[in-house]
Structure 1
Amino acid sequence: MKYIALFRGINVGGNRKVEMKKLKGLFESLGYTEVSTYINSGNILFESDLDTKSVLTKITKTFEKTFDFEIPTLVKTEKEMKKIADAIPKDWQNDPTQRTDIAYLFPEIDSKKIIEELPFKKEFVDVRYTKGAIIWNIKKVNVNKSNLAKLISHKLYKSMTIRNVNTARFLAG
């Protein structure tokens, strides 16, 4: 089965540095095949015959032993990633006028109700839920009015990992 591992918070702001070449080697040493990385923020594509839960357990245990720190990790099947990407309206892009991001949700907060708990000013941000993620689009002129920046200090922020729309579409194949 094809999987995508999403690591939360590596190589961001100079903290928790992990070389993608080393991470790729780690995955290969676990017996995963067709391993590739995408950009430097912790996106790994690979194949395995194991189920999702076994894959995640194996990755998290080995990661912590190898790098001496814990990193929250999501493992999604290619099918799950495609479903999330397909939920993004085609005209939602990153361009000079708009910004689109996807927050992949850890299981403990994966619910449509999450939208009501987030600090966004909904009149400025179009936010949508799909199983496993929330997707938002904002006109760049409204970024400061939207309270989007408050997400970083919100209690739910630690239970999600965010990618831009281009990365999300790439990872979905």
Structure 2
Amino acid sequence: MKYIALLRGINVGGKNKVDMKRLRTLLESMKYMNVETYLNSGNIIFETDLSREIVSESISKTLFEEFALNIRTLIKTSEEIIHIESVIPDEWQNNKDQKTDVAYLFPEIDSEKTLDEIPVNRKYTDLIYCNGAIIWHIMKKDYNKSQLNKLIGRKLYHFMTVRNVNTARYLAGLD
């Protein structure tokens, strides 16, 4: 089975530093196959016959043992990543005028009801829920008005890991 591991909150603002090359080597030593990493933001693509639960636990345990970090690891199949990317409208981009992000959801909050808990001004923010993710789109000139930055202070934020739309599209294109 081909999986994508999304590590939450590593290499952000100089905190929770994880050397991705070292992590790739560690995963290869754990018998994961065809391991590759993308960017320093905690995106790992690999193959294994193990269940997602076992994989998530083993990667989190390795991060703790090798880097002394307690990092949540969200495991998605390549099919799930492709489905999430397919929901993103083509015109939603990251460029000088607009910002689009994908919040991959941990199981505890993976529900359409979570949309109601996102603290944004819907006049300035487009939101889409699909199984496994919430996608948001904001015109950059309206970012402050969108109030999306309030999400960071919410408990809800700890149950998601966010990637920009370019990363989401790249990961979906790896299959």
Q: TM-score range by the shorter chain?
A: over 0.9
Structure 2 partner of 1:155: 155
1:134-155 CA distances to partner (integer Å, 9 max, x unpaired)? 0011111110100011111111
How much does 1:34 deviate? 0.6
**For 2:133 and 2:145, how far apart are their aligned partners in 1?**
23
**For 1:39 and 1:60, how far apart are their aligned partners in 2?**
19
TM-score between the two structures when normalised by the length of structure 1 = 0.97
SS of structure 2 residue aligned to 1:170: helix
What is the total number of aligned residue pairs between the two structures?
173
Structure 1 residue ranges, 4+ long, deviating more than 6 angstroms after superposition: none
SS of structure 2 residue aligned to 1:114: helix
Taking the TM superposition and a 5 Å limit, the aligned residue runs for 1:113-152 are 113-152=113-152
Indicate whether 1:14 and 2:14 are aligned.
Answer: yes
SS of structure 2 residue aligned to 1:26: helix
How much does 1:45 deviate? 0.5
**For 1:82 and 1:51, how far apart are their aligned partners in 2?**
19
Residue type matched to 2:10 in 1?
Answer: I
SS of structure 2 residue aligned to 1:121: coil
1:145-167 CA distances to partner (integer Å, 9 max, x unpaired)? 00011111111001100000000
**For 1:9 and 1:73, how far apart are their aligned partners in 2?**
10
1:11-46 CA distances to partner (integer Å, 9 max, x unpaired)? 111111110111101110110011111001110010
Structure 1 partner of 2:46: 46
Structure 2 partner of 1:71: 71
Query: Higher helix proportion, which one?
Result: 2
Question: What is the aligned-residue RMSD (CA, Å)?
Answer: 0.8
Give the percent of matched residue pairs that are identical in Structure 1 and Structure 2: 56
TM-score between the two structures when normalised by the length of structure 2 = 0.96
How much does 1:54 deviate? 1.7
SS of structure 2 residue aligned to 1:144: helix
**For 1:3 and 1:111, how far apart are their aligned partners in 2?**
21
**For 1:13 and 1:50, how far apart are their aligned partners in 2?**
33
Which consecutive residues of structure 2, in runs of 5 or more, have no partner in the other structure? none
Structure 2 partner of 1:58: 58
Which consecutive residues of structure 1, in runs of 5 or more, have no partner in the other structure? none
